[in-house]
Structure 1
Amino acid sequence: MDSTCSKFYHEDDFDSRGFIDTYLSDKPEMVFGDDTLKFPLEKLHHIFSAGHIKGETVIDISIGPIVHHLYSACEFFEHIYVLRITEKCVMEVNRWLNTCTGAFQWNHTSTYVTALEGNSGQCEDKEMRLKMAIKQIVKCNIEKKNLTYSVVLPQADCVISAGILDVISKDQDDYIRYLRDIAKLIKPGGHLILLGLLNAAYFTAGQDRFHVLKCNENDLRKVVTEEGFIIDHCDVVKRKAVSDLTDYEAVIVLSAHREK
């Protein structure tokens, strides 16, 4: 693992809306769709529909104000708690949750997921089910051992973490420490799902370039197993997007469980 770049997601001003517009929208100029939308959504659909990951509670701690990666989870879990590190991201998720004017529209992603499920045309129902499943949106603090500090949450049957460890970790020790803190949220026997970038050093949001901790598949597998998890699935796809806004080489989706 290697660290380069000066701006950090959790320390510097982060353009949360610019981020999702650039990497996750349905705009014609958005070139990352295969990598950031289709591949993760397909893998999450397969992971959850296999029926091995079940329970009552999911905790999600991810980058930006994203919610699209939770559409499959809401079919299998009654309670979803969304943790975000920045106030802007909390506000942006709340705008979507409360159907506020100007909120980012995730219809293109719910449409894609319902098609994967064989329920084309039910994207509005899917969005409503996810909104009903989200019980709380919490601003968390990664520098505290108890990430949610002032808010008491139930331990999770499954924790989903998309991209956040890559951008808040300045070195491998940080990554291990943050992963360990996230793992405390998981019940014995519970599951961890990680989505991330491989061999990336930066991404651009708005006018600024932000740090990404450079790691490969072997790095990630090693850290996860050394923290006591057993890897169940690991899928990697090489980058398809052509853009200099970010330099990742591949996208990874990894699911693991910890023994009871």
Structure 2
Amino acid sequence: MMDSSPHKFYHVHGFDSRQFLEHYFSDKPDMVFGDDTLKFLIDNFRQVFALGHINGDILIDLSIGSAVHHLYSACEFFKNIIMLKVSNRCIMELKRWVDERTGAFYWGHTSTLLQKKEENSDPFQDQEAKLRSAIQHVVKYDPEKENMTDPLVLPPADCVISACLLDVISKDQDDYIRYLRKFSRLLKPGGHLIIFGALSTTYFTVGKDKFHVFTYDEDFVRKALVGEGFIIDYCNVKERTAVSDLVDYKAFISIAAHKEK
């Protein structure tokens, strides 16, 4: 099915989850993606939740790797966050941070970015602790299964977030729409979907390995959402500023929509 691609597939071959975080989300001086993967992502999720209509009991996160910083704003509106991960390695990396174990990835630089955006933020309020408390479950899933978390059956969610996951598990347009449909089934009627993705991308690199990314543009993702019965509430696109050959995206898109009842 996927042998035609010269690159590996995220959900099939797996990758070094810590190296992925170091490449694209760290506070190291040579990490050049800060404006795109840190500032833009945090700011856009903050803006989306500031709209005031995305809230409820349960939020399900389906995102690439073990990143958590996109959920800082979400934990102000959801006290029960369920994170789905495709590999044991990503689960272990995430749980190391949630449980505050020795050797966990450092996310302090990202919570500082959010505090700078919040004019009324309490400098003594620990955003990371809030998020840890909100993450109630970390569950392994298989995107190919009808019930992706089989044998577990998840409760319907008020909101589903997917950051870059559709990009890396979809081999073509039909795949993207098929997975989008599966993700939307996790929602309650009228529930909200927030997608963060990389436009016009063909690969990303972790260590010595290159991984497949489905190439699409803004028009495609808009049509895909509308075709699945969503109404788009918010969309923002940021052109790439980073100089690096680790990944070849042209821009990032942040888009929020709600499912028609």
TM > 0.5 fold call: yes
On the 8 A contact 1:5/1:201 being kept in 2, the answer is no
On the 8 A contact 2:57/2:79 being kept in 1, the answer is yes
In the TM superposition, residue 121 of structure 1 has moved relative to its aligned partner by 2.6
In the TM superposition, residue 214 of structure 1 has moved relative to its aligned partner by 0.3
Separation in structure 1 between the aligned mates of residue 55 and residue 100 of structure 2, nearest angstrom: 29
Partner of 1:201: 202
SS of residue paired to 1:136 = strand
Letter in 1 for 2:227: E
- Say yes or no: does 1:214 pair with 2:211: no
User: CA offsets, 1:144-180, max 9 Å, x none?
Assistant: 0111112222111000000011001111111111111
Letter in 2 for 1:85: V
SS of residue paired to 1:135 = strand
In the TM superposition, residue 120 of structure 1 has moved relative to its aligned partner by 5.7
User: CA offsets, 1:188-209, max 9 Å, x none?
Assistant: 0110000010000000011101
Partner of 1:258: 259
In the TM superposition, residue 5 of structure 1 has moved relative to its aligned partner by 3.6
On the 8 A contact 2:7/2:203 being kept in 1, the answer is no
On the 8 A contact 1:4/1:213 being kept in 2, the answer is no
Structure 2 runs not aligned, ≥5 long: none
Partner of 1:134: 135
Tell me which of the two structures has the higher relative contact order, counting C-alpha pairs closer than 8 angstroms and 6 or more residues apart: 1
SS of residue paired to 1:151 = coil
Partner of 1:171: 172
Partner of 1:188: 189
Partner of 2:160: 159
Separation in structure 2 between the aligned mates of residue 56 and residue 235 of structure 1, nearest angstrom: 26
Letter in 2 for 1:132: S
On the 8 A contact 2:14/2:87 being kept in 1, the answer is no
Separation in structure 1 between the aligned mates of residue 226 and residue 5 of structure 2, nearest angstrom: 26
Separation in structure 2 between the aligned mates of residue 117 and residue 57 of structure 1, nearest angstrom: 24
SS of residue paired to 1:11 = helix
Separation in structure 2 between the aligned mates of residue 56 and residue 49 of structure 1, nearest angstrom: 17
Letter in 2 for 1:175: Y
Separation in structure 2 between the aligned mates of residue 198 and residue 100 of structure 1, nearest angstrom: 35
Separation in structure 2 between the aligned mates of residue 258 and residue 88 of structure 1, nearest angstrom: 32
Partner of 1:121: 123
In the TM superposition, residue 66 of structure 1 has moved relative to its aligned partner by 0.6
Under a length normalisation based on structure 1, what TM-score does the superposition of the two structures give? Answer: 0.96
Separation in structure 2 between the aligned mates of residue 116 and residue 72 of structure 1, nearest angstrom: 11
On the 8 A contact 1:114/1:122 being kept in 2, the answer is no
SS of residue paired to 1:96 = helix
Report matched runs for 1:92-111 at 5 Å: 92-111=93-112
Separation in structure 2 between the aligned mates of residue 13 and residue 176 of structure 1, nearest angstrom: 22
On the 8 A contact 2:25/2:33 being kept in 1, the answer is yes
Separation in structure 2 between the aligned mates of residue 251 and residue 171 of structure 1, nearest angstrom: 19
On the 8 A contact 1:111/1:122 being kept in 2, the answer is no
Letter in 2 for 1:235: N
Aligned alpha-carbon RMSD (Å): 1.2
Partner of 1:245: 246
On the 8 A contact 2:170/2:176 being kept in 1, the answer is yes
On the 8 A contact 1:194/1:253 being kept in 2, the answer is yes
Partner of 2:68: 67
Identity over aligned pairs, percent = 56
Under a length normalisation based on structure 2, what TM-score does the superposition of the two structures give? Answer: 0.96
SS of residue paired to 1:40 = helix
In the TM superposition, residue 93 of structure 1 has moved relative to its aligned partner by 0.4
Runs of 4+ in 1 over 4 A off after TM superposition: none
SS of residue paired to 2:13 = coil
On the 8 A contact 2:238/2:253 being kept in 1, the answer is yes
Structure 1 runs not aligned, ≥5 long: none
